[in-house]
Amino acid sequence: MPSPFDLVAALRPDGHIRVIAPSSPFPREDFARGVARLRERYRVSFADDLFEARGYLAGDDARRLAELRDALTDPDVDAIVAARGGYGATRLLDALTPEEVRASPKLLVGFSDVTALHALWARAGLRSIHGPMVAALGRAEPAWVERWIAAVEGGPVAAATGLDTIHPGEAEGPLVGGNLAVLAALVGTPYAPPLDDAILFLEDVGEAPYRVDRMLTTLRQAGWLARVRGVALGSFTACDPRADGRTVEAVLRDRLADLGVPVAAGVGAGHAPEDGEVPLGATAQLDATRGSLRFVENAVEARRAG
């Protein structure tokens, strides 16, 4: 099944990365280490006001919006990588259109709150990479950085295997989604990603099981889960049970097992330190019976031999 989302250009050695902070402020030490690692292979730039902070936001909306627009319209920029997540990217969606993104298609890399921008890229008909951001790369093991480089440069996408079956079956479709909390916040807005015939990917961090239940119930009641061909679950990190003892694993099974589509858990993508990259918009094959998620395509152009 060919994906309805277009490939974006792969990042090449000496390519130009523009770092943006569309969400929350971030630790400068981790950021500096991440930039240093990226500069061993790429050109890296960022705005002088990247480090601004306004409470839980990395500067006001005007600053963050201008930064993203500059990255989109600069013809020398090859890829846009977020500094970190947090909160704030959804506040920019009112001022951005899919046409703007489509007019200058560039690779977007990030996760967590950047899910809002991944949804914008998907609405523009473009693929993107759900994966570690600059501050996280500053803390990452060298092998994880190499894996990130392979992903953005169009190397083979490793299959996720050994997944836990929640509902058996097989499905194929473009992988769409990201952070559950951000996606639930897009319900009822015009900014939700296209979901028809997709494999929905979900992950989250620091959410009590009852909150995960609430958000999944929101997706169900909004009709989102009736439109997808399958559900692939990533890491649900630090989603510890409260006094009632109900686990997030029990909630995921309770809210998703009766959808009538393949559902599997354990994809290594999300907020765990070792989590890697998944190509959003690329065609994926979910085999929930045997516990695997394989990618027929990448998010970026395939790496050329030699």
Active centre residues (catalytic)? 112, 203, 271
DSSP state of 87: S
- Those residues whose C-beta lies under 8 Å from the C-beta of residue 110, and which sit 6 or more positions away, are 81, 82, 85, 117, 118, 130, 131, 133
CA distance 59 to 53: 5
CA distance 161 to 216: 24
SS3 label, residue 45: strand
Q: Give how far the C-alpha of residue 34 lies from the chain's centroid of Cα atoms, to the nearest Å.
A: 18
Q: Give how far the C-alpha of residue 244 lies from the chain's centroid of Cα atoms, to the nearest Å.
A: 31
Conformational region of residue 295, where left means phi above 0, alpha means psi within -120 to 50, and beta covers everything else: beta
SS3 label, residue 28: helix
- What angle do the packed helices 248-256 and 209-221 form, to 10 degrees? 20
